[in-house]
């Protein structure tokens, strides 16, 4: 019997197979500081190869990948950084993604992901730090200073650009004093205070996290506007004196019941007319990246991304009114509501 040709191309399999290299190439760009070297004058493949003492042939292949990914342009053998690279691969940029790309906890190690997927499907979640569950360490306030600092910097790299975009769009215009709850580096507090120099924010998180957050507050010259308050989001008394609360990249780490408790706590503390904000990537099952990120959260914490509809439902259950969705940056949005 004659072998029949396939009824569909195998190109998608090749795309996914070769796609394993794309993030690895960005990680190497951060490790070698490719963007910085181009800005310093190593603007040809020959100069880069000589500076890094690497194979010229190999560098040519590698730069072609960065060109296809949109991080550099190559014209007449001259290399230029694109806006994408200048925003996210330049160490001097406030939106530098190096803390993610250097992957200090091997979260994105391709050699480990298949095993991690299978483990998580058995409901055994394994984002670990020094042999312990990261989720348990956060919830029990047992994260050591070094690990907390690394995680805080990583999350800042992922979240700051969207926070600034949201604040610049006027998302928080109704607020005079904003509580950044579970703040991490204070991406929302920093962005809010930069957009409104006459207003103030409270940055609330665990002690080890706050030590790193203070570095960002000082770096962006916001010490006069931002008060850093140490405390456990789950067990400590929250600070007072605010008319807005924001959970930025917080709820996606927790089960729905825990999120409902946090929103109920926020409702009880807000004054009448106060506003709640949830800054996060929204689940859209028609898009691959949010679906992948939601599965990534499941693998790490047994948690999930929420869709706009799910967040609105949580806000309604906990007493909030007039929900709105504000576009931020890329896949990120801010869902807001009011205590009527």
Say how far apart CA 165 and CA 186 lie, in whole Å: 15
In the prediction, which pLDDT does 96 show? 96
Q: How far is CA 207 from CA 148, 182, 212, 260, 300, in A?
A: 9, 11, 9, 24, 23
In the prediction, which pLDDT does 245 show? 98
**Which parts of the chain register pLDDT below 70?**
124-143
Q: Provide the mean pLDDT of the chain.
A: 92
In the prediction, which pLDDT does 319 show? 98
In the prediction, which pLDDT does 105 show? 79
Give, as one character, the DSSP assignment of residue 44.
S
pTM (predicted TM-score): 0.90
Run of H or E including 274:
none
| Domains of the chain with bracketed CATH | 11-93 (1.10.10.10), 114-338 (3.40.50.150)
In the prediction, which pLDDT does 119 show? 78
Task: Look at residue 14 and give its three-state secondary structure.
Answer: helix
Produce one character per residue of 135-161: b if its CB has 16 or more CB atoms within 10 Å, e if not. Answer: bebbbebebeeebbbbbbbbbbbbbbb
Q: 4-40, pLDDT tens digit by residue?
A: 889 999 999 999 989 888 999 999 999 999 999 999 9
Sign of the C-alpha dihedral, residues 303, 131, 107, 181? positive
Concatenating the DSSP letter of every residue in 137-163 gives: HHHTT---HHHHHHHHHHHHHHHHHHH
Run of H or E including 43:
none
In the prediction, which pLDDT does 137 show? 60
Q: Which residue has the tokens 């490790």?
A: 31
286 by Cβ neighbours in 10 Å (0-12 / 13-18 / 19+) ranks as: exposed
Q: 251-282, pLDDT tens digit by residue?
A: 999 999 999 999 999 999 999 999 999 999 99
């Amino acid at each position: 019997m004659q072998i029949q040709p396939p009824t569909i191309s195998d190109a998608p399999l090749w795309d996914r197979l070769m796609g394993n290299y794309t993030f690895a190439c960005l990680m190497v760009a951060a490790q070698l500081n490719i963007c910085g070297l181009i800005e310093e004058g190593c603007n040809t493949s020959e100069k880069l190869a000589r500076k890094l003492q690497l194979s010229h042939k190999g560098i040519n292949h590698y730069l072609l990948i960065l060109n296809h990914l949109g991080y550099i342009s190559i014209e007449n053998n001259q290399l230029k950084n694109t806006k994408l690279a200048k925003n996210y691969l330049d160490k001097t940029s406030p939106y530098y993604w190096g803390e993610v790309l250097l992957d200090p906890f091997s979260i994105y190690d391709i050699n480990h992901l298949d095993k991690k997927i299978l483990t998580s499907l058995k409901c055994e979640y394994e984002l670990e730090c020094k042999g312990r569950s990261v989720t348990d360490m956060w919830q029990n306030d047992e994260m050591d200073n070094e690990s907390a600092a690394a995680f805080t910097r990583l999350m800042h790299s992922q979240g700051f650009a969207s926070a600034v975009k949201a604040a610049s769009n006027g998302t928080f215009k109704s607020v005079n004093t904003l509580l950044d709850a579970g703040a991490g580096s204070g991406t929302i507090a920093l962005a809010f205070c930069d957009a409104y120099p006459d207003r103030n924010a409270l940055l609330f998180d665990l002690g080890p996290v706050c030590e790193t957050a203070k570095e960002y507050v000082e770096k962006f010259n916001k010490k006069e506007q931002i008060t850093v308050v140490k405390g456990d989001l789950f067990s400590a008394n929250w600070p007072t004196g605010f008319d807005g609360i924001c959970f930025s990249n917080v709820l996606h780490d927790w089960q729905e019941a825990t999120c409902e408790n946090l929103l109920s706590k926020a409702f009880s503390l807000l004054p009448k007319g106060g506003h709640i904000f949830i800054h996060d990537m929204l689940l859209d099952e028609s898009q691959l990246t949010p679906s992948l990120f939601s599965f990534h959260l499941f693998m790490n914490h047994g948690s999930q991304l929420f869709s706009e509809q799910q967040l609105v439902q949580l806000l309604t259950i906990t007493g909030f009114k007039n929900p709105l969705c504000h576009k931020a940056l890329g896949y990120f949005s801010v869902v807001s509501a009011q205590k009527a």
